[in-house]
Amino acid sequence: MPAVRWTMILMCCLANTINYIDRANLAVAAPIMQRELGFDAATMGFILGGFFWTYAFMQMPFGWFADRVGARISLAVAVVWWSVFTALTAVARGAATLMGFRLLLGVGEAGAYPSMAKVAANWFPSKERGLASAIFDSGSRIGAALSLPIVAWLISAFNWETSFVVTGLLGVVWTVFWVLIYRDPERHPAVTQEQLARLQAERGTKAATGPKVPWSSLFRYRTVWGMMVGFFCLNFVIY
């Protein structure tokens, strides 16, 4: 297997770290923003929760987008999108504006996991895909752990506006390196023909023919519903 696959999945881990820093920074800054902008706790709670509506509903559209354009473009679009609206949060001065930025942040962050799953599928054989997924998902926990000290320090050293600008810039910088580094295995100069043939054989091949299956048919399977309920319970506790 090509060794460069680990670079690709570690880049996804780093993107997911930034993802969760950008997601959590409002929760850290919320008490100061409430005081300065005059929001009550109920309004801030509504704003914090707004992110998840677009995040939930844009998962499948972004998965479709990743399948259409590939992981390189879809993940770059997702990271730039959420980074821009993270940084723009610094100019919010009202509840409506802040809610709008949070809703748009959710649109971009919805593209993270579908795109990273695409990277894992492209670069890893089926027997290693669980490990690859665990590596990029670990970035979410790293980001959640780092967001508290990083954002708190930026707020104490500068102000809450700076915390959003700086964390937003992290994603823009990451995207530059991603666009330069990432290629699918079929187009990567470090992958030999022998390595590519072995990877293609071990990751499984696409069905050449067959009827098209509508996405709605997935909801007929108990496994899908079980996973959805499981993630619902997990995130209810986490957030």
Mean pLDDT by 10 residues, the chain (239 residues): 89 96 90 90 89 91 94 97 96 93 95 95 91 94 92 95 96 97 92 88 62 74 83 68
To the nearest 10°, report the CA torsion of 219, 212, 122, 184: -130
pLDDT (0 to 100) of residue 177: 97
Domains of the chain: 5-193 (1.20.1250.20)
pTM for the predicted model, two decimal places:
0.87
